[in-house]
Structure 1
Amino acid sequence: MTLKKLLLSSLVLGQLAVSGAVLANEHGVNVEVQSDAQRATLVYQGEMPQEGTIQYAIWSEENGKDDLEFYDYQGPETTIDLQNHSGDGTYHIEVYQVKGAEKVLLKATTFQRDTEEPKTAAPETTTVAPELTTNSIESTISMTTTPSTSSKSEAQAESTTPATTTNQETQLPQVPTTKSRITPSQESQPKSAENSSDVSVMQPRSSRSSIQPRSARSASPSQYRAASPVAEVSSQPRISASVSRDGKINIAVTGVAGQPAEVLLPTWSDKNDQDDINWYKAARLSNGIYYLQVDTKNHKNDTGLYHIHLYIRSKAGASLEGAGLTTVTVGNQVTTPTTPKKTEPAKTTITASQVEKTKGTYRLNIQPEKAVKSIDVAVWSTSNQSNIKWYSIPGNGQPTYSLNVSYTNHQSLAGQYQNHVYINYADGSRIGYVGPTVTLEKPVQAASVSTSARFIGSGTYELTLHNAEAGAYRFAVWSDKNGQDDLIWYDAQPSGNGSHKLQLDLSKHKDSGTYHLHVYKKQGGGVLASQFTVAAHHLPAAVTKTVATPTIPRTYHATSYPVGQCTWGAKQVAPWVGEWWGNAKEWANVARRLGYSVGTMPRVGAVAVWPTDGNGYGHVGVVTHVESANRIQILESNYLGRQYISNFRGWFDPTMVWNGSGYTRGEVYYIYPKA
């Protein structure tokens, strides 16, 4: 989207942060993706931005962006859990540079997700069971309650495990009789509950990992032995479980004495003999309660009865002690979560208040369900998100967060404002919500705002804004010929009674005819668009005819400049440049002595000169396109050592100059061809 289109269609002030962004410098960015059915590894290639951080936006092509997630840069390689996404096939990745509330798109690409689960032999390392080996099993478990789902076995009928129901708290379990899917060695076969309290420890089939003790290492089935007899415990923790509206299991453990090294909660569904068992480590809250939320995605989204057992390790190196168990029933409400999703009153709530339709303001109120690290809010009103703006709210422990929104930050456009909220929770999760839609109306001006233009002599026009409300204003001015290649932004000067004036020097622009004047309020947006006519006899002598856009010549001619150097390239594209002007850094001074006009505003056909670039020799190029003083395109040679003529950089800011280690504001001059 060009600046001209923005000015003519919606009077946009500033640049878009996300839509249609381009890389701001010459250093390319790429992302190499290595993926399978469960995860993707993103390998960042290219220089890191000088400012801000990197974020990845990832979603599947199925169903639009309903599984869009943002991930923070973790280093050269960032691993993404694809189980957070619902789609198969094509996935989209967008790489953003995040600078405060602004997000700049650096790269967009796709990859294919492998939908087949990898076929492997029995894993050498189990990722779901705690560390248990032949030498350590008897010393590490003094009380064990083996997770079992042998609901169809005869042994279950003999089990003394207390029956539990949804949300029911239980006392310490007696040792259940169980049939293991993986047969231990002969010496470790469990005895029946009638004559022994020995318990076998079972290794699950599945290698899908959730949370495991850090010390977990490989152990073959033959290494597992029956545990030693159950020991007495001094306290009786209580375990309870409930199912949230989105189908997740919330587990709370109370009455845990002291602060043990680990509180483990092996969990599995009643289906298919523990093939989905996962061992989780609960987190201790400030009130002493141990809490865990289990996503049924980690258990194949099974519904029905779930088993939850409790184990406690009092200190590092101590034995695990079985401390309780319960069950909970998950209904058919389990669905694959999508992002963003409609807010639910029972959980995170988002409301709009203090809506002033005619003033263009409202307040967004966000009440998160749990502790927050930060909140990102995207607000826009246009169908193509051209006036989108991102806001960032830091977490401060408050129950409610508020954001004041003004349409002046969104090009002062009336319409239906969309509010999408992305909450970065303290537990590391990131969830998106669709907030309420707010209707804002364009404020009615007390008097009709207008502009006027009049010739005051010496190639100068006086431009005036009338009946404007209080504030500072900027004028965007350009001639109708050759696009917006002579567009310049000016600060208008207040002159009383709601008027703001500008003395326009026509020598900074091109030719006669129709000129465009767009007015913007600095702390707001577009005010109005108008036109005026410049007579040919009002032009100063310095203004030349319209210059054709420079192009790469089909054949090159001999010059006094070394072939491949930037000076050689400029001479080839702009033959009016003289011979023997020296190094690039000397060109502006030489041109002045030879009678050429030299200034600081870019024009098509002018030679751009950077005296401090090029490792001390300077650098030159020929301007081909201009949108403003900070956005041009050029043809150049010897850019990054490439000794041929091309448009290497596309649109870029010529005032940002390479200093050897990064880009900083620097000098740039323009040599204009003679009439």
Structure 2
Amino acid sequence: MSKLKTALLSTVVLGATCLSHPVFADQQGNAMISKTNYDSVSKTFEVIAQQSSNGKTIKQVDAAVWSEENGQDDIKWYSTSDISNGQARVRFNLANHGNHAGNYITHVYTNYADGSRSGVVMENTWISPKAPTLSLKDGGIRMSTDIYAPTNGTLYYAVWSEENGQDDIKWYADNGTGTTIADLKNHSGYGKYNIHTYVSQDGKMSGISCQDITINKQDVSYQINKINDTTYDVLVTNVPEYITSITVPVWSNVNGQDDIKWYTTTKIGEGTYKAQVNLANHGYTSGDYSVHIYGQNAISNNFEGLRVTSGFNVVNVSKPSAAPSPRITTYINETNTYPVGQCTWAVKTLAPWIPNWLGNAGGWATNAKTKGFRTGSTPRVGSIAVWPNDGGGYGHVAYVADVASNTRIQVKESNYAGNQYIANFRGWFNPLDSFWGGSVTYIYPD
């Protein structure tokens, strides 16, 4: 241990040196002041004031800490009057100084119960920038750090692929956010990539770390799932980060590629993309379909084929019927007077041929029939479904959008589950299910 000279800061400029271990108090009975080593995990260190044997009673400790760079622009006072067993502790936290690396100065002021005060200059603490965390993300090498450059410096990353030496070396400056992306379009080749980190300060460049990351070429995987008779999901998985987008061309093998459609996928998870194929885009053709997978490659900067799939087969799919033209046109130009958001308003909006003033939804089939409209029990696209026993006794109506069978339809409607706007809320469902009241009648436009 080394003895530390102390003096009243009001009269003397401190120039003493302190180790990071406890030191003896001087003959004036001042406290022993020490500082722990910097903890790089918690990014903290502690200043400890310990009352010496038969020394003066500590009342309060104030530690001023700031980085040497740019003066005292980041000065922070750490104070405590919590004294336990003659000891007081304050904790420096790098977050209070913007998480910047640098040479940190610490002055400690101890106030005593007798009204006196002493001051100590501690040994500076050098906090170095650290090696970044490396990862592949969105077509680039991501370099992340939680300790930024000194306030008068800049972090730089030199990045190049091992292939062909340093022919593709590029320097990236950290913008102060702690995250820097090396776009793979600026480089070439698979395999090992070198990342060297430097800090530029006071006109000098100092090395921080030498790291590398390996980018292997990999094959994508896929699944093709049938959602319903006319819809298929193409799920592309195991997509590497250097592939920045996935596109899926699909076509029926009947008549070549006359119906080819390129589906843009949606990224739904890490390395996972999905496209939804609708047979309406292919004329509802039955038979075999081809599905290929293409991607935008950040390394080659090319749009390239990644995989030929086994495709899928469509058996006897029927083209949905189009809504027939209305036979009764008297009411088409009427202003919709049904309350906005109600099921009746939605149907009048979607099927303007239906008249106003048909009453509650439950009575629509009967009232429409008296006005000359045909009704029946078979669902048809463009017809109006009427559930007289649904809707808490008021009934419910909806516009039929698609039909697979008498027990499998899709509708557009409003005021379903409290949603007062028009949408297909239910997908495919059984209109005769007891949950909807057990019976349904359809009003036809023709």
Q: Which has the higher strand share?
A: 2
TM-score by length of 2: 0.38
The higher radius of gyration belongs to 2
TM-score by length of 1: 0.28
